Amino acid sequence: MAVEVKEEKFGSRPSVLEPFLKKNNIHYEKNIFVITCRKEFNGNIFSRYIIFKEFLSEEEMHSNAIKAISNVLKDFMKKRVRGCYVNEEKRKIKVLRGDEISTYSYSEFRTLLLKSLDCKFKMSSARGSSQATPLSRFFRENLGKSVSITDMDFFIPASGCFLEEKTFFKQDHKGAKVYLGSGQFYSLKELREDILRPEAHILIVHTPEDRSRFFLREFDKGIPADRVYLKGWGSGVYIHLDKVLTSEEFIKVLRG
């Protein structure tokens, strides 16, 4: 059950994982967006999803990243992965499909995307954060509330792992737990069940600043979750992280 687009919220801590990935020469992709037409507007799994990998410059645009992501998707999704570069000054979007690049105005791109998703436009007042990337801002400000957006933090091609980093957590009698908003929780469930191949993985990860330990849990079909409402964040779930790895063990997981 995809939930409509909301205002972007950002935690107070920057990524702890990204410097770790760089230091250990683990190749990763980021700025990956799963765009979903909500089920009440389109319940057909073959048309309601599309994935975009955002490039932050035109020079960066290449098909290798798209191919790497496609490798962990079910067959019907392999041709529904695109690369994008947004020129906010000119209000133009370049789209990489296969080895071909096309250029669209904002309105042309919105029309094309909604048509590809077989999704009706429903007005929304959501705004993108100034801390977000240009494509994220475009999606939140232009696609309306019939569409949901899931931003995947990191993708590791070597192991087929999508990493969802949580920069704060709590402890209770069951151990470490992290908070996911309801929209993100349901979007990850749909991603796992509808479009990822069995050998792909979604890992929920937390690590302290010293990166001495990595708390994680694989997000799978039957993942247990405790529903909660947090003031300032809204309704969501707590996910208990059931594994604790050393940095060496975590590197081994990521390298497959």
Interacting residues of 187 by C-beta distance below 8 A, sequence separation 6+ = 2, 3, 34, 36, 148, 150
Query: What integer pLDDT is reported at residue 123 of this predicted model?
Result: 82
DSSP-derived pairing of the beta strands 201-206 and 161-165: parallel
pTM over 0.85: yes
Q: What is the per-residue pLDDT across 15-65, written as a single tens digit (0 to 9) for each?
A: 999 999 999 999 999 999 999 999 999 999 999 999 999 999 999 998 899
Q: Which bin fits 160, alpha (ψ -120 to 50), beta or left (φ > 0)?
A: left
pLDDT digits (tens, 9 = 90+) for 65-103: 999 999 999 999 999 999 999 999 999 999 999 889 999
Partnered with residue 165 across adjacent β-strands are 205
Alpha-carbon dihedral sign for residues 20, 78, 41, 185: negative
The rounded distance, in Å, linking the Cα atoms of 222 and 205 is 18
Position 250 confidence tier, pLDDT thresholds 50, 70, 90 = very high
**pLDDT value at residue 127:** 65
Which residues make Cβ contacts (< 8 Å) with residue 255, sequence separation at least 6?
26, 158, 159
Specify the DSSP element, H or E, that contains 136.
helix 134-142
Beta bridge partners of 95: 84, 102
